[in-house]
Copies of this chain bind each other. A is one copy, B any other.
């Protein structure tokens, strides 16, 4: 990694860009007298690492395109999809969480009906934004298809279904990995790939990025499981120890904490190897891979 690269600053800059894009979008397009818009804006702006948008932007940069406004719009759309999935996952009929990103969950702040609708609306809005990009950017349709597949019944929704079905059951390692590939891996991969597509990446680059993304996606989930055991609820903005309480199968449960940590480290190494062919433009992606396993929230 080059000495000049200040990752924390990079992360802050990108997060600010995403947040500004989202709040600008909200002020231009949402009617804040409408309850539905209030709930959508509330969940969208209630903090969050903005990991998927940042991955999308970093990946577009890595293939050479740093300033395309389509990339930022796609990044915003990805955050909307992620936020919708959190709103629905938090519902009483699902994980029944009262706290998310350190704030009351959408159904606690508003009510259940509003939360269901706000989730539906953020999902739809994300694709409205993506579909709008297809007029101005030739790769936007491919990026949109990637994100649609990752968001759907063969992506995060199937992952959440399996997560619920697995409560109280013990999954083996292969089933656990597959569930997480659906639940978090697919959208992380779509974020990286859509950025590369919008940035004009070649097929070879896209393949390398997919490999990178599949590894960090899994590393992300392993780290999430570790944090659920030993993380600080104040830092995370959500409760710890819930996996054990819900009798969920987790990496620490299957492998133990120590082996889970080294597994996450291995995955990050694989991810970095996939980036080896790129020059220092991929530095942020490398740093993001480390960040994913070293984060505290």
The 19 sampled A-B contact pairs (Cβ below 8 Å) are A34-B158, A36-B153, A36-B157, A36-B161, A88-B120, A114-B161, A116-B116, A117-B161, A120-B120, A120-B157, A121-B152, A124-B148, A124-B151, A127-B148, A128-B148, A128-B152, A131-B131, A131-B141, A135-B141
A79 to chain B, nearest CB (A): 16
Question: Which residues of chain B come closer than 8 Å to A148, judged between CB atoms?
Answer: 124, 127-128, 131
State which residues 171-210 of A face B: CB under 8 Å: none
**Interface pair B36/A158, CB less than 8 Å apart:** yes
Question: Which residues of chain B come closer than 8 Å to A132, judged between CB atoms?
Answer: 145
- Type the 1/0 row for A40-73, where 1 means its CB is closer than 8 Å to any CB of B: 1000000000000000000000000000000000
**Interface pair A161/B35, CB less than 8 Å apart:** yes
Q: How many residues of chain A have a CB within 8 Å of chain B?
A: 42
A143 to B117, CA, bound (A): 23
Question: Which residues of chain B come closer than 8 Å to A114, judged between CB atoms?
Answer: 161, 164
A4 to chain B, nearest CB (A): 40
A179 to chain B, nearest CB (A): 12
Q: Does A111 contact B (CB under 8 A)?
A: yes
Question: Which residues of chain B come closer than 8 Å to A94, judged between CB atoms?
Answer: 113, 116
**Interface pair B134/A112, CB less than 8 Å apart:** no
Q: Does A6 contact B (CB under 8 A)?
A: no
**Interface pair B121/A153, CB less than 8 Å apart:** yes
Q: Does A125 contact B (CB under 8 A)?
A: yes
**Interface pair B88/A116, CB less than 8 Å apart:** yes
Per a CB cutoff under 8 Å, which of B36, B120, B164 touches A113?
B164
Which of A114, A116, A120, A151 is packed against the most chain B CB atoms within 10 Å?
Answer: A120
The 10 closest A-B pairs by CB, nearest first: A93-B112, A124-B152, A121-B153, A36-B161, A128-B148, A121-B157, A93-B113, A131-B145, A127-B127, A94-B113
Per a CB cutoff under 8 Å, which of B30, B36, B111, B128 touches A93?
B111
Question: Which residues of chain B come closer than 8 Å to A149, judged between CB atoms?
Answer: 128
**Interface pair A141/B134, CB less than 8 Å apart:** yes
What would 9 more interface pairs be, CB under 8 Å, given A35-B161, A36-B153, A131-B148?
A30-B153, A35-B165, A93-B116, A117-B161, A119-B120, A120-B120, A121-B153, A128-B152, A132-B145
Per a CB cutoff under 8 Å, which of B116, B120, B123, B161 touches A34?
B161
Q: Closest B-chain residue to A165, C-beta based?
A: B35
- Type the 1/0 row for A72-92, where 1 means its CB is closer than 8 Å to any CB of B: 000000000000000010010
